[in-house]
A = this chain, B = another copy of it.
Amino acid sequence: MEFKISKELILQLEHLIDSKNDRELEILLKDMHHADIAEILDDLDFDEATYIFRLLDSEKTSEILLELEEDLRENILSRLSPKEIAEELDELDTDDAADIIGELSQEIKNEVISELLDVEHAKDIVELLRYDEDTAGGLMGKELVQVNENWSVLTCVKEMRLQAENVSRIHSIYVVDEENRLKGRLSLKDLLTTSTRTPISDVYIRKVDSVSVDTKDVEVARIMQKYDLEAIPVVDELGRLVGRITIDDIVDVIKDEADKDYQLAAGISQDVEADDSIIELTRARLPWLVLALLGGFVTVKVLGLFEGAMEEHGQLFFFTPLIAAMAGNVGVQSSAIIVQGLANNTLSGSLWNRLLKEVSLSLLNGVILAAILLVGSYFLLNVDIWIGITVTTALISVIVIASLIGTFIPITLNKFGIDPALATGPFITTSNDICGILIYFSIAKLILGF
């Protein structure tokens, strides 16, 4: 289990491709896991990757396609004919096949579907394409094992053996009625430990968790995590069993959601990766920087209001970056804790209690930091004592206000159905910069009177 792609392996592969040594290549790749081959293809250049892809049989290539990074997959698919793409999809589970078709252009999509060999499979895929990507319908697959509540266990086992041929992993056996409505479930373990003569209606569990086709993917993830489920059946509006979602798809949803929040907190507005193009990365990063720049304009204006202080109390201006930085950091901390609490559903109590707690917390932090600042400004920075007192007073006020803003904004966004993670990152630092500097100089004006 210690698979790591070595430079030597890549060089060896490139050499074999150059010399068109297909036999050696095939031997080298034969026993490799498709996920490892996908990782290798991502590391090779496009022509090399295509060369290897064409060498492998479709049982393997279809799985590899799934694991490739999106750019490379798109590139490889663009070189395949609709018939060839359909051959790949025939090997895949319906949910994976639907995901790949979803990435194709409308025109090619239809051609590919018409080339699918297995009609049942094609029907299932077309059905899945109807659902939104971020709903249970968009996540589910059609591969499941279901039995009728009126069957005997013997019929059941026979039918299951047939169905199991098309299902790579059996999580649960779902029990339905004549109208295909979900009635309950039967665990494989129960089947293993029950005599074959028992009637099915005697053994199945009449309680089964399910989600509806239009349940949001993050909600499905929350439910499966909370109830520790490895698979969950999906029902339509009439309660009929239409598919199942497995935990591996949910792992992706959880990771994507966490990545998205992380990127928003860092001021990156689209799902990008380090290896994306400069244009894509700029599109994700520039908007937030423009926002921060415009916020910067406001801070320039605010500071301009207090130009009068420059002659007598010029040292005040040395502290603006410190005040702004503290306001920004405190605000990000507060909002991050709220965003995470909302995401993990661990936030209890009212908004007022939350703000009250945040005030106490930031007062405690503020007083400690102010003490360090007061001592530091006197001994290390050698500033005028009155400036020291001004900055210290301002620091406490700024920290309290910044933490309130950091708490209030994500909670409010969430109330209005907006993603609270938007409030983290540049948005909160910029607004806290402005507020912080305004508060700082207003207090200075009060104390020093310029």
Contact = CB atoms under 8 A, between A and B. Distances in A.
Interface of A: 1, 33, 35, 39, 42-43, 69, 157, 160-161, 164-165, 167-170, 187-189, 192-193, 209-212, 215, 223, 225-228, 230, 247-248, 250-251, 254-255, 258-259, 261-263, 265-268, 272-275, 278, 281-282, 285-286, 288-290, 292-293, 295-297, 299-301, 303-304, 307, 310, 314-315, 317-326, 328-330, 332-333, 335-338, 340-341, 344, 346-349, 354, 357, 360-361, 364-365, 368-369, 372-373, 376-377, 380-381, 383, 424-426, 429-430, 433, 437
A429 B174 CA distance: 54
Contacts of A160: 192
A341 B381 contact: no
Contacts of A323: 296
B297 A322 contact: yes
A314 B310 contact: yes
A42 B226 CA distance: 14
Contacts of A430: 325
A207 B272 CA distance: 36
Nearest to A191: B192
Most buried by B among A164, A230, A281: A281
B211 A290 contact: no
Given A192-B164, A268-B337, A293 B322 contact: yes
Given A274-B341, A296-B321, 19 more contacts: A1-B211, A1-B215, A161-B193, A259-B340, A266-B424, A274-B354, A275-B349, A278-B361, A281-B337, A288-B329, A289-B329, A292-B326, A293-B322, A296-B325, A297-B380, A304-B315, A310-B314, A325-B430, A328-B328
Contacts of A226: 35, 39
A347 B274 CA distance: 7
A228 B210 contact: no
So how many copies of this chain end up in the complex? 2
A322 B349 CA distance: 37
Contact of A337 (B247, B274, B328): B274
A275 B348 contact: yes
A291 to B, nearest CB: 9
A211 to B, nearest CB: 6
B169 A193 contact: no
Contacts of A381: 297, 300-301, 304
Contact of A286 (B263, B318, B365, B426): B365
A37 to B, nearest CB: 12
14 contacts: A43-B348, A170-B192, A225-B248, A254-B254, A259-B340, A262-B336, A265-B266, A274-B341, A278-B364, A281-B337, A289-B369, A295-B325, A296-B321, A300-B318
A289 B227 contact: no
A281 to B, nearest CB: 6
Given A169-B189, A292-B329, A357-B278, A321 B319 contact: no
Given A1-B211, A278-B357, A324-B321, A330 B188 contact: no
A250 B225 CA distance: 11
Nearest to A67: B226
Contacts of A192: 157, 160-161, 164, 170, 188
Contacts of A43: 348
A240 to B, nearest CB: 16
A303 B303 CA distance: 16
A273 B341 contact: yes
Contacts of A433: 321, 325
